Structure formats: C-alpha cells, structure tokens
A and B are shown apart, each in its own frame.
Chain A
Amino acid sequence: METPGSNSVFGLAALEHIDALYGYAMTLTRDKTEAEDLVQETYLRAVRAANHPAPEGNLKAWLFVVMRNAWFNIARHKHHGLQLFQFEADEPTGGIANDASSNPHVVYLRKLERQQIHEAIDKLPDAYREIVVLRDLEGFSYHEIATVLNCPAGTVMSRLGRARGKLREALSQRQKVHRLYG
C-alpha cells in the first residue's frame, strides 16, 4: 500500500530542501551526527504527516517547523537544556566598510570575507544564529520565521535586529584585527 510519503511529488519537493534542513539542523545541534539524525527524523515525521496541509502551502517553512518540534522532543529526552532564547538589550551597532575595492587581490579578500562571515555566524548565541540563518541564509519572511519559531512577528524583528548587531560587531572587530596584523 502506498503511504502518503511515497507520493513522488511530495518526496521530490521535500528532498529539494535537504541542504537547507541539514544547515538548520547543524544550527540547532552543532554536531554532524546529531544533525544527520535530526534530518532523518524530520523527514520521517514529514512523511507520516504529509497529508496534513502545510502552513499557507509553504512546504519549506512547514519542514522547518517539523524539524524544530522534533529537536525539542529529542533534546527534552536527552536533558540537553536548550538555550534558544538568549536576549541582550541595546546591542551596539557597528559598521562594515564598503568592500568594493580595486585591489588585485579582491578575489582572495572575498574568500576571506566569506570565511569570516561564516565563523562569525557560527559564534553567535544559539537564538541569534538561528534567526540569522532563517532570515539571511534561508530567505524566510518575518511571518514565516514567526511560524517556525512559534513567536510573534515583533519578536522576530527585535531578535533579528540584535542578532545582526552582534554579527556586525563581530565582523567589525575581525576587520580591525585584520588591519593591524594583515
């Protein structure tokens, strides 16, 4: 008998988001093995629930909701003690220099910049890293993020502002160090 998940249209559409889901799983777990387990658990749950309507027809956002719920369950069983809601008030705003340059090493600098951005995102507190990944790397709208995080859209806006402030500050510090020793 064919299960809902064996529907090839659903399967192909869901598989399209595997890289995004693995990236989000790495954001939540910070561990490759746990991230792989979480991705598989997410797809298992999605296959079982595939006949349920996705929120506003957005399959990707729905898969992210499934993953986040699965992670909460797994973490609860393992007594991880999630740290998903860290807030810091009034983050300072930094700035990054306009990186347009006529330097012949511009390609090298771009690679360096990308590496620095990834490292800076990785070092953000969990809640901030999560919201930057959802908005700036995965392109979700505020409304979709609010659905995934199960919080008001206003919280999305304020947390995103603080997360970007921290990221801006971290990148600004790295640029200063790079100028001193580069």
Chain B
Amino acid sequence: MRNCDDIRERLALYLDNELQGDERAAVEAHTQSCQSCASFVEKERAFLNAIRSSGPLHVAPPSLQTKVGAIVNGPKTAASASWRQWILPVAAGLLVLLLPVVVWRVVRQPTRPENGAPSAFALMAAESHLRHTRGHLPLEVESSNPQHISEWFTNKVGFNVKLPSYQESSGQEILYTLEGARLVGFQNDYAAYVSYHMKDRLISLVITSELLARPSGGEEIASRGLRFHYNAIDGLKVITWSDRGLTYALVSDLEERGQQSCIVCHQGTKDQDFIEPLKPH
C-alpha cells in the first residue's frame, strides 16, 4: 500500500482524471482505508468543484458573434453583392403576395406557437449535455439511487431536487438508469444536472427553480395537466416543463420528432392515458 505523502502528491492527477487503471485504483483503495486522506480528497474536490462550477468568466458579445459568423461563412463575392441589389425588392413583393396566407394561418391556430425560440434554460441544458458527452463536465456524484442523488443536492441548490419517478411509480419496464449528478451554473445561481443512460445513449435532466426559468418556445403539448415544450437545439431534442415549483429540461439525441421522443422512454408503460396524447395523429 502506498503512503499518504505519495497519495497526496498524485491527488491533483487523480482529481483531474489524469490517472488510469492501477494508479487510479491505488489512490481509491488508499482513501477508502485512510480517513485523513479521504477528508483531504473531499476538501480538494470541493475546492475544484467550486472553481469549475463558477461558470464562464466571459461570454462573447452578440456583435462579435455576427462578425465571426461572417468570417466562417466565407467572403462575399461580387456575384453575391449584385444578388443583394435585387433580392430586397423581390422579397418585398413576395411578402405582399404571401401576407394574407401567413395571417390566415396565424389566426387559424392562435394558441399554438410551434416555432418559438428556445428558452435560455433549454439552451443551457443542451450545452451542458454536449459538454458532458465530450467529457468536459464530469459528474460530481455517481449513483443509480434517486434518493441518494436528491440528498446530495440538499443545501447545494436553493430548492429540493425531486427527480421524476414515473418509470418507478408507474410499474413500466426499466428502460433507463440513473448515472449521477453535478451542479451547473444558470442565471448567477446553481442548477441541478442529472445524467441517465438508456442503452448506449446519454440523457440529461437539468432542474432549476420555476422562479428562475419558465418553459417557453418550441412545440407545446399538454399532457396530464403539464405543458411540455419541445425544441430541437444543435441536433438535440430538448423538452422543458414545470411541475410543483421546479422547471425541468430533458435533453437527448433521440431522432424522434417532438412529443414522439417521449414514447421512447415511456414505451414500457401500460398507462394509455399517458401515452395516447403523445402518439402522432
């Protein structure tokens, strides 16, 4: 067995996921039997988590994003410049012709804004999912026990984390398993990030207080008294909803469109009242 000095020298490598195989196992074996080193590891982990969860120092201003967008989309050619001279009058003409059709469609479906922009919360959830899949957002706690995960968040976020338990409470077959959780930054506060696995797919659930984020945008569907908003962001499906004071965002790379992606996780349910509204009509 290695001594404490040896372990503490390698602690940064361990916490930075730079140790693999036997070396990693040696650190873990030592900290399981040495209370002093285990306490040291937890303090270091808390310190690093505080730094890593503090969020980005800076965000690119929109004007810079526009300029860079023009750079990566390539230089404008002479042809494209002349194209701009006639496209505006043509577009204006088309607008006049199509305006009655557009107005008629909007009036016909006044309560279903299908293509609203995704909320900031949905965008953050998609970004967190991508970062986790790329290994840039490691979990701070790993457990398949929902109770354990909920307890881990106690006093770390300003709300009680209630994980959805439909799979467990409805008696449907087990299709996905809980992997672990961590904190993520949102609106100058912490949100709860929870990771699930369904076969070889990763599913992310991000939770915050309803006071900080309300579901909006995208395709809206009502089911069982809840209103779900479906967005496609960077090739991901993001579903947001609020329930009992919390707002949830579920992110996956499922190919199914809109509410049909719900059926993938809930296909094992025998509850037809739940599943029927989600099927395509």
Contacts and interface: CB of A to CB of B under 8 A. Distances in A.
Interface of A: 2-3, 5-6, 8, 10-11, 14-16, 18-23, 26-27, 35-36, 39-40, 43-44, 46-47, 95-96, 98-102, 106-107, 110-111, 113-114, 117-118, 121-122, 132-133, 135-139, 141-142, 157, 160-161, 164, 167-168
Contact of A121 (B57, B71, B188): B57
Given A18-B65, A100-B155, A106-B155, 11 more contacts: A3-B74, A6-B72, A15-B72, A21-B60, A26-B57, A95-B43, A98-B46, A132-B51, A136-B52, A137-B52, A137-B54
Given A43-B72, A95-B43, A18 B64 contact: yes
B57 A23 contact: yes
Interface stretch (B10-18, B88-96, B266-274): B10-18
A47 B185 contact: no
Interface stretch (B25-33, B130-138, B236-244): B130-138
B157 to A, nearest CB: 8
Nearest to A13: B72
Interface string B48-70: 10111111111111001101110
Contacts of B68: 15, 18, 39-40, 43
A144 to B, nearest CB: 11
A6 B73 contact: yes
A46 B135 CA distance: 24
B279 interface: no
A116 to B, nearest CB: 9
Interface residues of B, number: 44
B72 A26 contact: no
Nearest to A143: B18
Contacts of B73: 6, 8, 11
Contacts of B158: 106-107, 110
Nearest to A98: B46
B57 A135 contact: no
A27 B17 CA distance: 24
Nearest to A117: B54
B18 A110 contact: no
Given A18-B60, A107-B158, A121-B57, A113 B67 contact: no
B57 A40 contact: no
A46 B74 CA distance: 12
B100 interface: no
Given A47-B71, A135-B16, A122 B50 contact: no
